[in-house]
Amino acid sequence: MDHKILQTTRELIDEVGYPALTVDQVATRAGVGKAAIYRRYTSKAEMAFAATMYEQQLPPFAGTGSLHGDLLALVRTFHVRMATPAARQLAPALISELAGNPGLDTRFQDTFLAAEQAAFAEIIEQAVARGELAGTVDPAMAHLLLLGSLASALYILNLPVDDAMVTDLAAAATAGITALADRHHNDPERAAEPR
């Protein structure tokens, strides 16, 4: 049933666009009750976000052998998801809904963003283990440096993001994460401050 709901959501977004999409349309076409949808998703925006960007789990951590390589692989995966026409329609609506719905914001933080930050934590941990980083960096900051920049480019600045830009974003994030690790390593009091 989950797959059918998400597949139907994607089809309808392609046909009518996100603004015209309704939960009723999805329920009717998928052959499920609206209650079944609302048990899974708190809103149209969450359902559409799951369908367009998160139905597939993040790929398992491949470990390219370098911080830059790992960040580049991750941002390329996200670029494919985030640059679709459906995602470009949905992101502004989701951001607006998150701002006005604390429950949805908490759910979003605890599910989607937690999974993304776990991927960054693993990348950072491996870079520390290889000796590439002087110490650990808050995964939320690494997430902001890389995927926050990608989201801004796609959804706010409306830039034509190609692989060259994605590669540059990974290089900039690598430099930023390395600088933060060095800063925290050289200033233990700063590293211990709550964020």
Give per-residue pLDDT as tens, 179-191.
Answer: 999 998 887 565 4
pLDDT digits (tens, 9 = 90+) for 27-39: 999 999 999 999 9
**DSSP letter assigned to residue 98:** H
Considering the domain boundaries, does residue 54 fall inside one?
A: no
Considering the domain boundaries, does residue 55 fall inside one?
A: no
d(CA 22, CA 37): 11
- The mean of the pLDDT values for the chain is 88
pLDDT digits (tens, 9 = 90+) for 55-106: 555 666 678 999 999 999 999 999 988 888 878 878 888 888 888 888 888 8
Considering the domain boundaries, does residue 9 fall inside one?
A: no
- Give the chain's domain count: 1
pTM of the predicted model as reported, rounded to 2 decimal places: 0.80
Average pLDDT over residues 12-31: 92
Considering the domain boundaries, does residue 29 fall inside one?
A: no
Considering the domain boundaries, does residue 149 fall inside one?
A: yes
To 5 degrees, how large is the angle CA 98–CA 83–CA 116?
A: 55
Check if the beta carbon of residue 174 is closer than 8 Å to that of residue 71. Answer: yes
d(CA 112, CA 35): 22
The pLDDT assigned to 46 comes to: 82
CA 149, chain centre distance (Å): 11
| Number of other residues whose CB lies within 10 A of the CB of residue 141 | 17
The pLDDT assigned to 177 comes to: 97
Average pLDDT over residues 153-176: 95
CA 66, chain centre distance (Å): 21
Considering the domain boundaries, does residue 131 fall inside one?
A: yes
Domain carrying residue 174: 61-192
Considering the domain boundaries, does residue 100 fall inside one?
A: yes
Of 82, 81, 75, 83, which Cα lies nearest the Cα of 167? 75
CATH code for the domain in which residue 84 is found: 1.10.357.10
pLDDT tops 70 at residue 18: yes
